Amino acid sequence: MAVISKESAKNPGKKVGLWIAILLVAVFCLAPAMWQLLTSVKLNQDISHVPTIYFPTRFTLNHYIDLFIRRPFWQYIFNSALVSIISTALSLAIGAPAAYALARLKPWGGKFIMAGILIVTLFPGILLFLGLLEIVQALHLSNNYLALIIPYTAINLPLTILVLRSFFEQLPKDLEDSARVDGYNTVQMLLQILLPMTVPALITTGILTFIFAWNEFIFALTFMTREEMKTIPVAAAQLGSASTLEIPYGPIAAATVVGTFPLVLLVLFFQRKIVQGLTAGAVKG
């Protein structure tokens, strides 16, 4: 502590420069979100005012009220939540056993399987669009939640398997040997011993999967055409106004704030687990 205080006393400019850099980075990252938040509570006159009013003195909640009165926005929130939660649960339910099998059971061709998973993670999801569209039309899944749940689960499975596999590899094998001596089979050992120890990794991959499903736009726009089946990103993009020449900046900003708020709460609530899950497999001991 004495060394740190001496260095700080000798180089006060370095400390000030560090705090200025941190402040600039924070402003750069938070500015778009703050701009949307301020726009969502501005009066229409202030939104269209020239020169631009960055910090309004008059506030309104009419944009949020109109959002839920004129459109079935609660239904959009329900659609996004349902699709995101189910696809996240399926990704974890399928990915956890697969990751454990690749980490511990060493199946035949495991290296080729891992190579295939790595290739799939590098494959842009948008390139699957035309093939998925043909499948959805052939199976008559248009305007069906399965049309989004199945692709979201499939796209997020590789990431889930990679993260959980690295986490399983960090666990000591003595635990599994002791469990087998006590009479646990593989399924019991996975469910009762190993998975509770991998909660940070499960939460991290679950949140990443949830955010992807919540924010996805192209598949939701194409596969869900009925108004009551739309998700929040699609509904926000299709907000209209009384005139074709007028852009409803206020309602759009309110919709983005409503759509982002649950994700912010989710990340803040699980932030410690997220950090543990991201750093657990970084160092092999």
Could you read off the pLDDT of 118-174 as tens digits, one per residue? Answer: 888 887 778 888 888 888 888 888 889 999 999 999 889 988 888 888 888 888 888
Helices 12-40 and 2-10: crossing angle in degrees, nearest 10, is: 80
Report for 38-42, 100-104, 243-247: range of highest mean pLDDT: 38-42
Distances (CA, A) of 76 to 214, 231, 250: 11, 5, 18
- 101 alpha-carbon distance from chain centroid: 26
Taking only the tens place, the pLDDT of each residue in 261-281 is 888 888 888 777 766 666 655
Has residue 283 got a pLDDT over 80? Answer: no
pLDDT, mean over the chain: 83
Q: What is the structure's pLDDT at 153?
A: 93
Mean pLDDT of the region 83-99: 93
Could you give the CA distance from residue 128 to residue 123 in angstroms, rounded to a whole number? 9
Mean pLDDT of the region 248-266: 88
Q: What is the structure's pLDDT at 3?
A: 46
Taking only the tens place, the pLDDT of each residue in 194-221 is 888 888 888 888 898 999 999 999 999 9
Domain segments of the chain as ranges: 2-64, 70-280
23 compared with 106, residue with greater pLDDT? 23
Q: What is the structure's pLDDT at 285?
A: 43
Q: What is the structure's pLDDT at 279?
A: 61
How many C-alpha atoms does 129 have within 13 Å on its Cβ side?
Answer: 11
Mean pLDDT of the region 80-102: 92
At residue 188 the predicted structure's pLDDT band, cuts being 50, 70 and 90, is: confident
Going along 54-95, which residue ranges are E strands?
A: none
Could you give the CA distance from residue 175 to residue 148 in angstroms, rounded to a whole number? 39
Its pTM surpasses 0.85: no
CATH number corresponding to 70-280: 1.10.3720.10
pLDDT above 70 as % of the chain: 89
Could you give the CA distance from residue 58 to residue 60 in angstroms, rounded to a whole number? 7
Distances (CA, A) of 248 to 62, 71, 196, 212: 12, 14, 47, 26
